[in-house]
Amino acid sequence: MKYLHLIWAALFRRKSRTFLTLVSILAAFLLFGMLDAVRTAFTSGGDSVMGVNRLVVSSRYSIIQSLPASLENRIRSIPGVESVARTNWFGGIYQDPKNFVLSFAVSDDYLDIYKEIELPADQRKAYDNTRTGAIVGAALAKRYGWKVGDKIPLQSTIFPRKNGDKTWPFDIVGIYTPAKGAANGTDQSFIFHWTYFDEANAFTKGTVGWYIVKLTNAKDSDRVASAIDALSANSDHETKSQSEQQFNASFAKQLGNIGLIVGAIMGAVFFTLILLTANTMAQAVRERTSELAVLKTIGFSSTSVLTMVLAEAIFLLLLGGMLGLALATVLVPIVSHGSGGMLQLPPIGPGTWAYGIGLMVLIGALVGALPAVRAMRLNIIDALAGR
């Protein structure tokens, strides 16, 4: 720490060069922050710790095939199952086909299973008592300016009502907030009564898109999953039970390998960055050869010279990288907002920061290593003589 002013002085010995390098590092970490937000947006569905004791039971053959409602009681009777909720995909749009609304018809157990949906008690009561009641996530409500008490029409792209009309009326009776630790995007859903859906829709009767099963103990998940699948083996509605994490992960995978694409871009970015800063550091040390020799002459040990050069590189990376990540932290919500809900990027959290700072230190050490070793091995007499 006591050498800090020395490192600082060395860093800004050539202001323009340091500035140019800093901007490059800034650009790289700005990209890192934004791309990591994209990656999290696509994969964090499986990261919710609250999902560990939940199973998703869906049709084995196809997501568009539904399951009979009669299966519910048979699943409940399996030991290890705490409760079961019915869920149907609604495919809602609001006013314009562009305004897609993530909407589900769910049975009442759903809200008890999903503890991460936090709804005030009076709103929960109102929901239970209103047939056409719906609760919406805070972010979704904000997007369309919905308030408790609003009557809104939602169009289903799939299900017409009995009169052939595809517009379904709903009463918004509650606005929920996601609990701490909930998966990203939890506050984007529109949830309403399965009974309303089942009674009013023209085609399907007594069918369930998928069941959510809550286990008493997460350790039982494999056993219970195979017991549930055994219920319908060899019937025309065979099921596939998987943990919520597996289900989300396999869904995210179908969108395409986002992780791979993001990883490839970041690889290209950081490879270039390493080359660029390594070049800067090599130049900086080469220019200062005689200064370093003087430092050694007046008694700085080889190790402290090594540490100083290494610290300089890491410092350079940290300075540019932190600025870049800070810029990304500011920009990501703006991008999210500007896309009109098309792209829901999570804000940059401590995880990304920790990962980013780790990368900065690593890259700094990497690019500083060679010049630092050269500085350490410097022969005082040769260096001072300019040989």
- 165: alpha, beta or left? (left if phi > 0; alpha if psi -120 to 50): beta
- Residue 107 or 277: which CB sits closer to another protein? 277
**Interface with another protein by CB under 8 A: which range of 26-34, 143-151, 180-188, 375-383?**
26-34
52 binds another protein (CB under 8 A): no
Question: What is the size of the binding site for another protein (CB under 8 A)?
Answer: 53
24 binds another protein (CB under 8 A): yes
**Interface with another protein by CB under 8 A: which range of 21-29, 41-49, 360-368, 371-379?**
21-29
- Residue 130 or 204: which CB sits closer to another protein? 204
Rounded to whole angstroms, the Cα distance separating 327 from 36 reads 14
Rounded to whole angstroms, the Cα distance separating 178 from 337 reads 19
Long-range contact pairs involving 95-103 (C-beta distance under 8 Å, separation at least 24): 95/153, 95/155, 99/144, 99/341, 101/140, 101/154, 101/190, 102/140, 102/185, 102/188, 102/189, 102/190, 103/154, 103/189, 103/190, 103/191, 103/192
Cα–Cα distances in angstroms (integers) from residue 361 to residues 218, 311, 374, in the given order: 38, 9, 20
As measured in angstroms, the least distance from the Cβ of 380 to another protein is 21
280 binds another protein (CB under 8 A): yes
**Residue 339's CB: how many other CB atoms inside 10 A?**
11
374 binds another protein (CB under 8 A): no
Rounded to whole angstroms, the Cα distance separating 341 from 335 reads 10
338 binds another protein (CB under 8 A): no
Rounded to whole angstroms, the Cα distance separating 228 from 77 reads 10
- Residue 17 or 223: which CB sits closer to another protein? 17
- Residue 8 or 271: which CB sits closer to another protein? 271
Among 11, 21, 40, 308, binds another protein (CB under 8 A): 21
As measured in angstroms, the least distance from the Cβ of 25 to another protein is 8
Rounded to whole angstroms, the Cα distance separating 94 from 50 reads 30
**Site residues (CB under 8 A) for another protein, limited to 55-84:** 60-65
155 binds another protein (CB under 8 A): yes
Q: What angle do the packed helices 15-43 and 244-254 form, to 10 degrees?
A: 120
As measured in angstroms, the least distance from the Cβ of 82 to another protein is 27
The DSSP bridge pattern shows strands 117-118 and 167-178 to be antiparallel
**Site residues (CB under 8 A) for another protein, limited to 185-214:** 203
Kindly state the tokens that stand for 236: 């025309």
158 binds another protein (CB under 8 A): yes
Q: Any idea which residue has 């699943």 for tokens?
A: 75
- Residue 105 or 182: which CB sits closer to another protein? 105
Mark residues 92-111: x for contact with another protein by CB under 8 A, - for none.
Answer: -----x--------------
Rounded to whole angstroms, the Cα distance separating 237 from 8 reads 69
319 binds another protein (CB under 8 A): no
289 binds another protein (CB under 8 A): no
- Residue 129 or 254: which CB sits closer to another protein? 254
20 binds another protein (CB under 8 A): yes
Among 226, 279, 290, 379, binds another protein (CB under 8 A): 279
Query: Which one-letter DSSP state was computed for residue 134?
Result: E
The DSSP bridge pattern shows strands 100-106 and 189-193 to be parallel
- Residue 121 or 342: which CB sits closer to another protein? 342
The DSSP bridge pattern shows strands 133-137 and 167-178 to be parallel
Among 273, 305, 348, 363, binds another protein (CB under 8 A): 273
Mark residues 229-268: x for contact with another protein by CB under 8 A, - for none.
Answer: -----xxx-x-x---------x--xxxxx------xx--x
Helix (H, G, I), strand (E, B) or coil at 341: coil
Specify which residues 101 forms β-bridges with.
92
Residues that bind another protein (CB under 8 A): 16-17, 20-21, 23-28, 30-31, 35, 38, 60-65, 91, 97, 155, 157-158, 166, 203, 234-236, 238, 240, 250, 253-257, 264-265, 268-269, 271-273, 275-276, 279-280, 282-283, 342-343
